[in-house]
Amino acid sequence: MAAVAVGGWLVALSAFDIRHHRLPNALTLPGAVAVMIAAILHGRGIASLTGAAVLTAAYLVVHLLTPSGMGAGDVKLAVGLGALSGAFGVEAWLLAAFGAPTFTTLAGLASRRRVLPHGPSMCIATASAVLAYL
């Protein structure tokens, strides 16, 4: 049941970002809270919170250095996705963290577009990492 909820959340985030080129707080923040609560209840709270903090910090630095290249919605999404991948361990977190920019770069090269929403790549990378470490 949790996997269906997480999958629905990731699909909703991706679809919204593709359509509107933004990630709304109404999707990013409640999802992050739900992921963290679930991780705490399953004894993975510290790993989840650490994953959220480190990924969010990395995305925040990129956003502050190049605001046109990384939106604030991506930074807020990093909270929930960092928490989710972090709950599955360092290896899953690393796969998700490095997979997201790789997917966005590959999509940009394939489409020859300079501006792409990054949220879908973040969601795909995290889902892939979590599935790999289930």
Confidence of residue 1 (pLDDT cuts 50, 70, 90): confident
Q: What's residue 114's pLDDT?
A: 83
Q: Please tell me the pTM assigned to this model.
A: 0.97
- Phi, psi for residue 67 in degrees, rounded to 5: -60, -30
Q: Whose CA is closest to 25, among 91, 87, 73, 94?
A: 73
How much is the average pLDDT of 98-107?
Answer: 97
How much is the average pLDDT of 23-43?
Answer: 98
Q: Which residue has the tokens 């990013």?
A: 28
Residue burial 99-116, b: 16+ Cβ < 10 Å; e: rest: bbeebbeebeeeeeeeeb
Q: Whose CA is closest to 125, among 75, 69, 85, 80?
A: 85
Q: What's residue 46's pLDDT?
A: 98
3 state DSSP class of 12? helix
Residues spanned by the domain of 84? 2-132
How much is the average pLDDT of 91-116?
Answer: 95
* Number of folded domains that form the chain: 1
